[in-house]
């Protein structure tokens, strides 16, 4: 086991762009004004394991995919503004693409994985359920699940470090975890409902404990006020009842662990916390 006193993690939010959507589609009862849903990647700099990522956000390959059917449907559903891809953010910080050895993939939706192919040396941490889905679905069925197959490296499965169980120290209300490095710095936790096999991560960071909530909640307001997506949006979730349970579990976890900062991927609060990265 690594010495935990030397194994904290520096977390940086990398802005790769955003999509726009009516507010109530992602948090019921919040009005119909258009809001931005950011698609960041999270750079995790571990003192022992070096640079790794939690998701990759948007990237140019997704823009290319939008030129074709059925992927064009995804673009119409989520009008997208592309920013600086994660690999370019890292280059500005002196981190080469080949230096990234591990990418935690929270789930397989296109706005979380569009940069995977930019990191040729990386292995991918993915749940067994998510990998099975990626290997099975194609065409319209894949897009219906938020999956754009051209964003995945041809050897995606071979480079995957599969998470099958969560046997380690449980988090209040969220359940068992998977201690990624065995040093307590990165605990993965299942967040079912939004997407098949979705995971979040509790990070022991230099800024204090952070919970990267992926799309377990789309905003801070959503988990605080227990605002589910509109029924139109709920209809495309993997498991709407599990989504409701996860939203409640995040609220209860926040009450039990007020010391932890919760960062939903698409929330403006997350981007403001991460500025000026």
Per-residue model confidence as pLDDT tens digits over 150-185: 999 999 999 999 999 999 999 999 999 999 999 999
pLDDT of residue 5: 46
Average pLDDT for 228-235:
79
pTM of the model: 0.94
Query: Is 16's pLDDT higher than 80?
Result: yes
| H or E element at residue 143 | helix 139-144
Query: Is 144's pLDDT higher than 90?
Result: no
Average pLDDT for 252-259:
98
CB count, 10 Å around CB of 167? 10
Closest C-alpha among 78, 44, 76 to residue 58: 78
Of the pLDDT bands very low, low, confident and very high (cuts 50, 70, 90), residue 2 is very low
Average pLDDT for 58-79:
83
Q: How do the domains of the chain map onto residue ranges?
A: 4-274
pLDDT of residue 69: 81
pLDDT of residue 235: 62
Beta bridge partner(s), residue 81: 18
Cβ atoms 268, 182 nearer than 8 A: no
Cβ atoms 265, 106 nearer than 8 A: yes
Of the pLDDT bands very low, low, confident and very high (cuts 50, 70, 90), residue 92 is very high
The average confidence (pLDDT) of the chain is 92
Which class is domain 4-274? alpha beta
Closest C-alpha among 195, 186, 184, 193 to residue 223: 193
Higher pLDDT, 145 or 188: 188
Least confident interval from 30-44, 91-105, 165-179, 228-242: 228-242
Give the distance, in angstroms, between the CA of residue 250 and the centroid of all CA atoms in the same chain: 15
pLDDT of residue 275: 65
- In the block, tokens 């979380």 appear at 112
């Amino acid at each position: 086991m690594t010495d935990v006193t030397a194994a904290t993690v520096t977390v940086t939010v990398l802005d790769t762009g955003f999509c726009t959507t009516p507010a109530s589609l992602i948090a019921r009862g919040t009005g119909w004004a258009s809001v931005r849903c950011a698609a960041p990647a999270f750079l995790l700099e571990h003192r022992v394991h070096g640079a790794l990522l939690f998701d990759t956000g948007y990237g140019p390959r997704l823009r290319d995919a939008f030129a074709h059917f059925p992927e064009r449907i995804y673009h119409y559903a989520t009008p997208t503004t592309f920013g600086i891809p994660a690999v370019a953010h890292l280059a500005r910080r002196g981190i080469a693409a080949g230096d990234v050895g591990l990418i935690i993939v929270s789930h397989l939706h296109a706005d979380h994985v569009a940069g995977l192919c930019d990191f040729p040396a990386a292995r991918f941490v993915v749940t067994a359920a998510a990998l099975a889905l990626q290997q099975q679905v194609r065409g319209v069925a894949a897009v219906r699940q938020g999956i754009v197959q051209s964003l995945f490296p041809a050897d995606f499965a071979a480079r995957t470090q599969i998470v099958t169980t969560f046997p380690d120290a449980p988090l209040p209300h969220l359940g068992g975890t998977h201690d990624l490095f065995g040093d307590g710095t990165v605990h993965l936790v299942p967040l079912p409902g939004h997407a098949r096999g979705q995971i979040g991560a509790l990070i022991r960071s230099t800024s204090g404990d952070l919970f990267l909530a992926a799309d377990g909640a789309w905003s801070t307001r959503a988990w605080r006020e227990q605002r589910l997506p509109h029924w139109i949006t709920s209809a495309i979730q993997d498991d709407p009842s599990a989504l409701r349970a996860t939203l409640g579990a995040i609220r209860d976890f926040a009450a039990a662990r007020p010391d932890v900062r919760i960062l939903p991927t698409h929330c403006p609060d997350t981007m403001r916390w991460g500025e000026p990265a």
